[in-house]
Amino acid sequence: MPKSTLAGHPLHPMVIVVPAALIPFGFVLDAMYRSTGKESYSNAAYYSLVGGLAGGVAAGITGAMDYLTIESETDIKRTANVHASLNGAALVLTAVNVLSRRNQPDHQGGSLALSALSALGVAVSGWFGARMVYEQGMRVEGVSPVAHAPEVKPPLDDAIHDALMAQEKIAPVSGPVLQ
């Protein structure tokens, strides 16, 4: 299975921006609808989630192409398993949320909790995706020209890192590989 590429660059990072933006935005719009009762927010949330779901499928396909090239029994395969599992769960939750409101007037209904969980899943998954690139070198050519630059870290950054790493340690290191 070949890696997904467009114009010499990995395709997966290019397409993940759609679900990474629209699924959390759907949650924001759902929260706005719940707080104001304005139907336009409910309608906009529905279409944001539909776009996020469609974009998530495209991101999943391109990610799966790259995933299948990762050697089994490696740390990066473990990270990829966590990343893929979180994204898969977020897409399932988003699909359930979309289906529950598709025939409702102004797409009212759905679940603020499902929107929140989907947005959280996408955000945490993004951390693991960044770990694969910035720490494990997934699809990175050469040496980073900014490796020497200092980092700005938010409060509790190390604690958050350690908590996420602890969760990754329990994930499997094996998975399918196409040769």
150-161 per-position pLDDT tens digit: 667 788 888 999
> Do residues 91 and 56 lie in contact, with contact meaning Cβ atoms separated by under 8 Å?
yes
Calculate the alpha carbon distances from 160 to 40, 155, 167, 177 in Å: 36, 9, 11, 31
Residues 11 and 136: their CA atoms lie apart, in Å, by 18
Question: Tokens in use for 14?
Answer: 């290019």
Q: Quick check: is 79 in a domain? A: yes
Residue 162 belongs to some domain of the structure: yes
Q: Please tell me the predicted confidence (pLDDT) of residue 142.
A: 76
What does the alpha-carbon distance between residue 27 and residue 117 come to, in Å, rounded to a whole number? Answer: 9
Nearest-angstrom CA–CA distance, 15 and 63: 10
Q: Which residues of the chain have pLDDT under 70?
A: 1, 143-151
Question: Which residue in 74, 75, 87, 76 sits closest to 18, CA to CA?
Answer: 87
Structural tokens at position 117: 């969980």
The domain tally of the chain equals 1
The per-residue pLDDT for 132 is 92
pLDDT of residue 143: 60
Q: What is the pLDDT of residue 101?
A: 92
Largest Cα–Cα distance in the chain? 55
In a domain, residue 163? The reply is: yes
Look at residue 175 and tell me if it is in a domain: no
Q: Report DSSP state, residue 152.
A: -
What is this structure's pTM? 0.85
Cα 85–chain centre separation: 10
Residue 115 is part of which domain span? 5-139+153-169
- Distances, alpha carbon 30 to alpha carbons 90, 98, 108, 111, 173, in Å: 16, 12, 9, 8, 37
Residue 157 lies in a domain: yes
